[in-house]
Structure formats: structure tokens, C-alpha cells
Structure 1
Amino acid sequence: MSNDKNINASEDISIAGTIKMLLGFVWKLDKVYYPILALLSISNAANTVLNIFIPKILIDGFSKDWNLTTFISVILTIAAAKFLLLQLKAFAKRQDDIHRAMLQAKFPMEFAKKVMAIDYANLEDAKVLDLKERALFPLTNFGALLQMLSSAVGFFTSLFTLVSVAAILANFSLVFTIVIAVLTLVALILSARFMNVLKEVTETIIPINRRYGYYTQIATEPRFQKEYRIYGMHTLMMKKINSYTEEIAVWLNNIYTTQGNTETTQALLTGITRFLTYSYVALRVLSDQFGTRIGLGDFSIIIGATESFANSFRGVVMDVVTLGQTISYLKPFCQFMSIPDTLMESGAKEIEALETLSFNNVSFSYPNTDKIILDKISFEINKGDKISIVGLNNAGKSTIVKLICRLFEPDSGRILWNGIDIREYDYKAYIDEISCVFQDFQLFPFTIRENIDTEHAMLNAEEGDYENVWKVLDDVGIKKEVEALPRKLDTYLDKSLYEDATDMSGGQKQKLAIARTIYKKADLVILDEPTAALDPLAESEVYENFNELTQKKTSIFISHRMSSSIFCDKILLLQDGKIVAFDSHKNLMNGDNLYRELFEAQASNYRG
């Protein structure tokens, strides 16, 4: 795991680096796509070139007085060639659509894997979170990946066509080809200017659109609806949404105005190009004043080639511009994907059963802040100890948990497992020895069994460890509620996804989270505010069975309810980032300290 607390989320990646990464991702996720892209581009270009030659072949046939048999054989040959090309083109197009859709689905999956693989510290860094949003938005809201792949197909199709028709025109007249290229280039310069305006507007509008999308999303989410009604927040929400809508409308109006002016000028240039083309080629048919006279067949092929030249030239340039834009949109994605993975910096030592866990002069502050949360703290926990960590809000209680779980690294000092720095252990093996209910714990939209017995769920095992799952549910006092469900352990937990799912109360969910923690075969059990959502009776039941629940394992317990500390062997008292006491409940209650003050204040409230 990286020790660099301040990850430079804005570290730039060159265009070349971005292109290399994107090409690498496409190759990694779908190695068949590049051959499909080549096949589609070549078949498109070949079809265009064949269309140019068909009129010439037939006109020349009339000029040479082909007999009926020759005409029929030539027409059948052309039809067969055309049929084969169209079939090849259709096949390539179908495959392109399928594989593009697959890539569109796989890129966000790779992004999700990266989010789960990087240091957790990054996910509490505002810069990294902003980069995450900027990375995902072009994929999910702007369709940047599909646009990039479409532009790639268009670019290679236009390039292959351009090379072919340029050879035809250069053979006819090099000067004429240069004139057409210049006129086309002028039109493209105008298009490039518009595309540049579009790029600037898009870069401006992306953060606005992101906020607009966020507000419209939460406006419909059920979890916000009570507050909307009680506090009249819907009016303020609609005001914010409308303000972003109006701002987006102004930018879109600028885009369409510029686009309209550009298209008018381009249409004028296109008309001039066609007039010059038809005039010059017609003169070559009628006289030899401007060069060798040509026949009607050559007339048709030059007209067709000129149109294709202008279109393919425009296509090449416009697709390059579009590719450049989409690549720039996807640059934040590549930046985010460049953040190192946690597991890449794992140690190699094999971990042994816990005997001692100790903090040795550990100091810590969160990324991009100067506030010291933990200031050179030291303590040691022995095997089987039940430890309660107590302190005021923001004293650093949950921070200690995060450090033990390797979600963050200390700024200085060491955390030792059996006297060895935890960073020296194999990361996965170390995490396997820790089980935790976090303060903001999450259950997943899986079945109850899958949420608890994750090992069998990951193996897709039909025969799970049902007996022990039921036992741990009984231990935390939720077995009867689960047994009453129609599908029991196979009941899903999210009604928004599954019709036959169940929506549990906050207390029931917390019991499931405790059950998951106890079920995991770990040496160290950490419970961070595990009873916050439980009623007093359920809370008392958890406390009374605490030793049985933790199966005599080493346990760390954090709670604002001071009565929970009575069941623990020692209390670690935190104040202003330092340890001010580490002793038993009895001894601390005999002294003059913050713990006694907090305990008595809470006890008086209960008595009152």
C-alpha cells in the first residue's frame, strides 16, 4: 500500500499516453475487436470504390457495343461482387455493434474493479473523488467510448477510400486533384473551428451537466422524499435544476448558432466545388483544350471519385478531430486507472494467529489536511482481550479501526501484529484475519446467505454452510425473523431490484452486519458502533452475549453508549489525539478522568 498520503489526482497524462492506454484496454477486454474494425473499414471502402466504377463499366460497355451475353455476364459479375461486399459489410457491422456494446459494458466494470482495488485513502481524498466523477461521466453520460470507436471506424473507412479515389483522380489530373483538395481543406478548417468551439463548450458544460444529472437523480430517490415533504425542499430542488437547465440551454444555443453558420459556409464551398468539377470534366469530354479528351465512362468515374474524395477527406479530418476530443474526454478515465492498486504493494510474510496487536508511536492525519488525528499513540492488546475505545466525537476512535484494517497508513510509527509490521504481511492473508462492523456498514443487494457466507457465495456453491449461518443468526437474535421469510436465507435484501426481496429495519440490518462479522473466521473482531440502531433490549442482549458472540476472540469495541464498556477487559481513552488512559472500567471509575465524566453523565440521563 502506498505511503503517499497526497495522491496527485491531477497528474497529467499526455495524449499519446492516453491513446496507448485506451488501445491497451480495448485489446485487453476484447482482442477480436481490432480485426472486426479492420474488416468493417475495408468492406465499407471497397463498397464505395465499386460504386464509383459500376457506371463506367456499363457506359464503356455501351460504347464498345457489347452483345447481350456479355452485358448479362458483366452485370451478374457486378451483382455477385456487390452482394458479397454487402454481406461482408453487414456481417462486420453486426459484429462491430455486438463487440462495441460489450466494450461499453466492460469499461465501467474495469472502472469499478479499479475503485475497489486502489488504496481506500484515495476514496476519502476530495481530489481523487473529483477525478473519479470526471472519469466516469464521459463513459456513462456522454457515450465517449462508443463515440471514439465509431470515429475509429469512420476514420479508417475514410482513409482507405481516400487513398483509392486519390489515385484515380491523380491519374486523371494532378492539378485538378490539388484544387479539389484545397477547396475541401478550406471547408474542413471551418469545421475544425466549429469542433474547437464545441470542445470548449463541452468541457464547460460537463461539470454543469454532472450537477444537473445528480440533482435530477436525487429528486426521484425514495430516501430523500420525506425531507422534501416535511421541509419543502422540492421547491429549492426544482429551482436548482431549472437554473442548470437554463445554463445548459444558453450553451446549446451558442453551439447550434455556430453550427448553423458553419454549415451555411460549407454548403457554399460544396456548391463551388461541384460547379468546378462538373465544368472541368465536361470540358474534357467535349474538347482536348485542357488535356486529353475523355469518354462518358471516365466522366462518370471522375465525378463519383471527386464526390468520394471530398467526403472521405472531410471524414478523415473530422474523425481525427472527433477522436482527439473523445480521447481528451477519456483522459480522466486513464488518469484514474493509473492510480496504483493496493494489492500491488503487498508484503510477502505469512501471517500467524494473533498473540499481540500493538501501536508503536503511531501518528496520523487525513490526506490534504494538517489536523493531527492521532499523535504518537502507543498501546498493546493481547490475545483474547476485549477492548473498548472511548472518546468524544472526532477523537480518532474510528481512525484506529481504519488503520488496523489497512484502509490508511500511519504518517509515522508502526502497527505490529505479533511484533511484525503489518505491512510486511501478505495483504490478503492479513485482511482474512480481521472482521469488522464499520460505523457506516453496508449490506449488499444479495441474499441473506450471500451477505453472511461470502466464501461459499464467491465459489457459487449451491451447498452453503447453512447450519452455522443459522447459528450466528440465532446468536444475534434475528433467526426468527429470517425463518418467517418465504425464501428464508435465499431472500434478497433490496426491493428496488427484486420483487420478492425484503426491506429490513435499521436494527435488523445491523444484526445481519454483526452476524457477518462474527461468522467470518478471523482472529480479530472489531465492532464500531455495532448497536447504534438497536433498541435497548436488543442492545442489552448483544452485550450480555458479547463473549459468546466473539467466540473468545480478541475484540475491539467502539460505542458512544458507555455501559458497553463494562463488558470489556480494558478501556482505551482518547482525548485530543492522545491516549490519556488504558485501564479497566473499575479503575477508571475510581479516578478523575474523562471516562468517568462521560459514564456518569450518561448514567444520570438514564436515571433521570
Structure 2
Amino acid sequence: MATKKKHSMFKIIFRQLALIKKRKKSYLYFVLFVNMIAAGLLPVLAPFIPRIVIDNMVAGSDFGEIFQNIILITALSLILAIIAVVCDRIKFAQFIGLRIEEFFDLNERFLQINYEHLEDPSFQDRYQTANSTLNTNTTGFEGAYHNIFALLPLFFSTILLSVLIGIFQPLIFLACIIGGIITTFVNREISKYVFKRKDDVARAARKRNYFYQTCYDFAYGKEVRVYRLEEKLAQDYKRRSYNYITVLKQIANRRFAVGLFELFMLLLQDGLAYFFVIKAYFENSISLGDVSLYISAIIVLSTTLRSISATLTELNTATRLTDDYYDYMDDESYFTLKGERKAIPASETLEIEFKEVSFKYPRTEKYIFKDLNFKINKGEKLAIVGINGAGKSTLVKLITGLFTPTAGEIYVNGVNIKEFSEIEYRKMFSVVFQEVNIYAASILKNVIGTDSGEEARKRGIECLELVGLKENIEGLEKKYDTEMLKVVDEKGTEFSGGENQKIAIARALYKNGNMVILDEPTASLDALAEGEIYQSFDKLVENKTAVYISHRLSSTKFCDKIALFTEDGIKEYGTHEELMAQRGEYYRMFMTQGKYYQGEA
């Protein structure tokens, strides 16, 4: 992942400001202006209070006149402070809102990115960086807004104070400005260093977070306890945490060195300023009240310039991180199905054709498939069998568009799948994957998803009954509305692995796609139960195109064609009878497994 900044700080600032209008929050521009005036005037008024008091006392003014002047300036300062606080509260809440809306966009995009990238470490690091940009209020995306809004009143204060001090003694003003420029330059260098190390931070954080999440993931609970992995996980987490902290310490040490340099510059700058003020007083160029005014103004200007330097540094860091975020969000290379073609009507069956398709995972050299050619005809039921690691599941991900071919083309009903939009393309497939995921929702919602209404409920229950779960569910207190898992509802139920697979099959039945794909969906069932599922599923599939994938062979006799995959691609292809007659690899596998299937030995 590159660390080079792709856009200037000013371009990112303009994009951030433009986003305010895009999100329909244009009133923030007015808040920005009012805040600049109110917060900018506040520090400028402060030096005038001691000057008024001292000069009036020297002139012999009565207490009432002095008190009245103080009250006027204090009242004005209070009004400005209230305005600034109100503006701050408004903008703080709205900046959080802007960041949360970006989180929605980031998560939505993540859910749509081609599946093949999710296992790529470089993508994970890039996503981690983009995600971390939105994780806090003070840095990254939201931090950029806070720093933009903080800079304007600081600049306004600097202009007013510079005029005040510059009229009296240009050399003092020049010393303050030079000190501010030097400090800003040094801070800019530390900002570059922090940005340079951000990939190291993201990588160390990703590795640490993996062990952190594993320690608290219920899914690992049984293995951790049975195999006594607690100590190993704890050690791994501590080691990765140490590596993460080491990177942060290296950055902190740089910041500490810069802090010492800033302190030295401050002492030098203020010492010179005080010298010129005191010298002017002894030369009778200014009054005692002016001494107080200018010393206070110098302190305020010096503080303001340091604040500008620090804010610019933080803004530079924030815009660099935000630049990475926008670069990730603007990158369309993670999406391959960008066409506009709609899904083929559900009433039509599908024909799938692979033409010279090759595939390998990102940043690897080994091909899973090389120049693969085959066709699944409309309404055909194809069984894909083979040993583990032969690429059967990869084939499913290619068919469904989760993976993109490294070379070659895939066609659906004669149309290149790249012509479809991603959402429309995936509407056409009902898939049961190897990995069954059950969500913390009701049993019925695990089948019908976001659908609602009486018709959806009726169909969902029918699908659950068809896969043989009626008896299990009817025995529960809330029946089909029983919550799954105990993560959200402590009274939630947990099914066995085989029952969860049946829910996944019911989910695929409910979707009613043009094509049905079962990727070893019965791995948790025994051979006889698997055979029963396949027989009932075959009836439900009816005339749709279907693909059954398994390393076990209970599905093959219900299919029109069988493709035997090895590490070299398709080794044997034909009907069950044809492959048995060839007495090749399929024949040997079937005869070996046949004794486990009743009536097929």
C-alpha cells in the first residue's frame, strides 16, 4: 500500500467543505463564519483589560469608571464566548453526523466489494486504514473538520494581533512570525513521519485485532477450552500488542523531540519580545498600561501562532488520512460487475458457459483453473465432485460473480456477466455455501431476510417445513419467531450444525433464483440424511438449472451430468452411467463410497 499523498491538503479541505453541501448541511457555512468572528475576537479583547485598569489607575480615575470599563469588556467577552460555545456545540454534533454517514457508505461499499479481495492482506490493510480514518472524533475524517473550523478564528485573531503589535514594534511581530513559521515547518516534518508510519500502524493493529477478536469470539469457545489454547492466544495477543505499542512509541518519541524544540523556540521568541517592550518603556515610548497590553498581546499572539502550527500539523495529518479514505472509496478496481443489464426474469432458466477461464488468487502465482471450458445447459442438473482442494468452491464463486476470472469470460444465456450490475446479477442465484452463517434474528427472518408481510411469512414457513425442520421448530415456545443465538436475546436458541444447514437450504429455496447451487451444504449430515436432502431438493428445484457440489457422491445419481474435478481441472465429464462405464477415477470413488448409501453398494 502506497504512502504517497495523492491530493494536496487544500483539495481535501475543499472536498470536505463541498461534502457539507452534499449532505444538506449548508447552514454550517454560516456557523463557520459566526464562529470565526466570535472565537477570533475573544483572545484579542483579553490584553485590553489590564491596560485599561493600569492606565486609569495611573491617571487617577475613580473606581466606578474603571469598573464600568471592565464590565463592558467582560460583558462583550461573555457574549462572544456564549456564541462561540453554541457554534461549537452545533458543529460538533453535525461533524459526528457527517462521519457516521460516511461510515454507512464505507460499510455499504465493503459489503459490495468483490469477495476475492477480502482475503487479500493488502486490501485488509487498506480497509483498516480507511476504517480508522472514521473511528475517532479528533483525527482523520472528522478531525479534518474540527481543524478547519479551528483554524479560521485563529487566523482572524492573528491578523488583529499582528496589526496591534506591528504598529508598535514590527521587529516583535517579525520575531513571532518567524518563530511560528519554524515551528510549523518542524511540525510538518513530524506529520510526514506519522503519515509514513501509518501503514506500519495499520498492519500491527490488524494483527493485534485478530487475536483480540478471537479471544472474545464465541465460535472459538469450545476449541479454546478443549485444546487448552488460552495461554497460546494470550501470548499471541500480548506479542502482537507489544509490536503495536512499539510502533506507537517510536512515533511518540519523535513527537517528544519536536516538543522540546518548540519549547526552546518559545522561550527564545518570548525573551526577544519582552526585551523590546521593556526597552520601549524605559525610553518613554509607551506607558505602563501599554507594557501590559503589548506583553499580553505578545503572549496571546505567541500562543495563537503555536495553536496555528499545531492545528495545521493535525490538519495535515487528518487530510492525509482522509485522502487515503477517499482514495479507497473512489477506487473502482474492487468492482467488476459494473454493467447496467437487469437480471434475467425468474421464469427463465439459465445457461452458464466458461470460455478459456483461468483464475488465481491476488498476489499468488498458482492457478486454481487454467483455460477452463465447459457449459451448463438450461435446466440441466450438474454434479461437481472431486477431492478437497480441487477448486469446486472456487468454481461456485466464479459462477456467482464473487470472484473475477484472471483471464477468460463467463457467459449467462449468451451474455457476458460483466454486462450485469452486481445486485441484479446475484438476484439470479440461490446458493447454499459450505460455510453456513446463522444470524442473530428469528428463525423465520434467517430465511426471508428483510421481506415482510403475510405472503413472505407463509412462504418462509413452507421452505422450513420442506427441509424437515417443522417438528423441531413447532416444539419451541415462539415457534418460527424464536430468536437464533444468544448474542442479542439471552433466550435465543442454538441449532445443531445439521439443522443450521437445513436453515441455509430453506433460505436458498425461499430466494427462488433462476439457478440453484449447493456447495457441500450437507457436510454436517450423515450419508443417509444427505441423500434424503438431495432427493427432496431435486423435487423442489424442478426445471431450474442446478449445480450440486460435493466430495461425497450421494448427489450424482440425481443429476443429468457429472464433472469430476482434480487439481488439473475437469478430468472426467458425462452422465453417471457413462462415467461408471469408463471405470476411471469417478468409478473408483463411487464404488468406495457406495457402501455408505443404502441400496447403492
When the two structures are superposed, what TM-score results if normalisation uses the length of structure 1?
Answer: 0.85
Q: Deviations over 1:494-513 (max 9, x none)?
A: 42233343333222221111
Q: Which runs of 5+ in 1 are unaligned?
A: 1-8
Of all paired residues, the percent bearing the same amino acid is 27
Deviates more, 1:21-30 or 1:416-425: 21-30
1:207 to 194, 203, 209: 203
> Which runs of 5 or more residues in structure 2 are unaligned?
none
In the other structure, the counterpart of 1:476 is: 467
Code of the residue aligned with 1:171 in structure 2: it is I
Per the TM alignment, residue 13 of structure 1 is displaced from its structure 2 partner at its CA by 5.2
Q: 470-479 vs 184-193, which deviates more?
A: 184-193
Describe the SS at the equivalent of 2:483. coil
Deviation at 1:483, TM superposition (A): 3.3
Shift in alpha-carbon separation, 1:10–1:72, aligned structure 2, 3 A: closer
1:515-594 alignment runs, 5 A limit: 515-536=506-527, 538-594=529-585
Alpha-carbon distance between aligned partners in 2 of 1:373 and 1:111, rounded to the nearest angstrom: 31
Per the alignment, residue 444 of structure 1 pairs with: 439
Does 2:318 align with 1:318?
A: no
RMSD over equivalenced CA pairs, Å: 3.4
**Structure 1 stretch 532-541 or stretch 515-524: which is displaced more?**
532-541
* 1:307 matches 2:299: yes
Contact 2:447–2:460 (8 Å) recurs in 1: yes
Q: Which residue of 1 aligns with 2:358?
A: 364
Structure 2: how far apart are the matches of 1:279 and 1:561? 91
Q: Deviations over 1:284-329 (max 9, x none)?
A: 33433xxxx2234433321221111111111112222222223334
Q: CA deviation at 1:468?
A: 1.1
Residue number in structure 1 paired with 2:329: 337
**Change over 3 Å in CA distance of 1:30–1:143 after alignment to 2:** farther
Structure 1 residue 351 and structure 2 residue 347: aligned? no
Alpha-carbon deviations, 1:456-483, whole Å to 9, x = none? Answer: 2xxxx46562111111110011233333
| 8 Å CA contact 2:531, 2:554 repeated in 1 | no
Q: Which residue of 2 aligns with 1:5?
A: none
Partner Cα separation in structure 2 for residue 446 and residue 220 of structure 1? 21
Partner of 1:6: none
- Number of the residue aligned with 2:39: 44
Q: Is residue 2:379 matched to residue 1:384?
A: yes
Q: 2:392 aligns with which of 389, 397, 401?
A: 397
- Among candidates 85, 93, 97, match of residue 92 of structure 2: 97
Which is worse superposed, 517-526 or 92-101? 92-101
Deviation, structure 1 residue 112:
1.2
Of the structure 1 ranges 132-141 and 25-34, higher mean CA displacement relative to structure 2 is found in: 25-34
Superposed CA offset, 1:240-260 (max 9, x none) = 333345455555665666655
| Separation of aligned partners in 2, 1:249 and 1:12 | 24
Post-superposition offset of 1:134: 3.2
Give how far 1:169 is off. Answer: 0.8
Q: Does 1:164 align with 2:155?
A: no
Which deviates the most, 538-547 or 257-266? 257-266
Q: Which residue of 2 aligns with 1:3?
A: none
1:119 matched to 2:111? no
- Residue 226 in structure 1 maps to residue 206 in structure 2: no
| Mapped contact 2:355–2:372 kept (Cα < 8 A) | yes
Q: Is the 8 A contact 1:389 1:397 kept in 2?
A: yes
Partner residue, 1:152: 148
Shift in Å, 1:266: 4.2
AA of the residue aligned to 1:127:
S
Q: Which digits, 9 at most, give the CA deviation of each residue in 1:557-593, with x for residues without a partner?
A: 1112201212222212223444344322223222222
The Cα offsets for residues 360-396 of structure 1, whole Å up to 9 and x where unpaired, read as 4331212333433334444333443322111222323
Alpha-carbon distance, 1:265 to partner: 5.2
Mapping of 1:121-140 within 5 angstroms? Answer: 121-140=116-135
Query: Aligned-pair distance for 1:11?
Result: 9.1
Structure 1 segment 473-512 matched on structure 2, within 5 A: 473-512=464-503
Moved more, 211-220 or 54-63: 54-63
| Shift in CA distance, 569/183, structure 1 to aligned 2, threshold 3 Å | closer
CA contact 1:162–1:308 (8 Å) conserved in 2? no
Please tell me whether the aligned partners of residues 396 and 577 of structure 1 are also in contact (alpha carbons under 8 angstroms): no
Secondary structure of the residue aligned to 1:448 is coil
Match of 1:602 in 2: 593
Alpha carbons of structure 1 residues 543 and 82: separation in structure 2 relative to 1, 3 Å: same
Size of the alignment, in residue pairs? 592
Q: Is the 8 A contact 1:356 1:380 kept in 2?
A: no
Quote how far apart the aligned CAs of 1:357 are: 0.6
- Which residue in 2 is equivalent to 1:434? 429
Q: CA separation in 2, counterparts of 1:573 and 1:447?
A: 39
TM-score between the two structures when normalised by the length of structure 2:
0.86
Counterpart AA for 2:25: K
Structure 2 letter corresponding to 1:118 = I
Query: Is the contact between residue 350 and residue 545 of structure 2 (CA under 8 Å) also seen in structure 1?
Result: no
Structure 1, 266-275 or 393-402: larger mean CA deviation: 266-275
AA paired with 2:78? F
CA deviation map 1:428-468 (0-9, x unaligned): 33322221112224333333333322352xxxx46562111
**SS class of match (2:570):** strand
Any idea what SS the aligned residue of 2:351 has?
Answer: strand
Compared with structure 1, are the counterparts of its residues 392 and 19 closer, same or farther at alpha carbon in structure 2 (3 Å cutoff)?
A: farther
The separation in 2 between residues aligned to 1:503 and 1:588, in whole angstroms, is 42
Structure 1 residues 497, 465: CA separation in 2 closer, same or farther (over 3 Å shift)?
Answer: same
Structure 1 residue 427: deviation in Å?
Answer: 4.2
1:218: Cα distance to partner? 1.9
Among 70, 80, 85, the alignment partner of 2:80 is: 85
User: What amino acid does structure 1 have at the position aligned with 2:356?
Assistant: V
One-letter amino acid of the counterpart of residue 359, structure 1: E
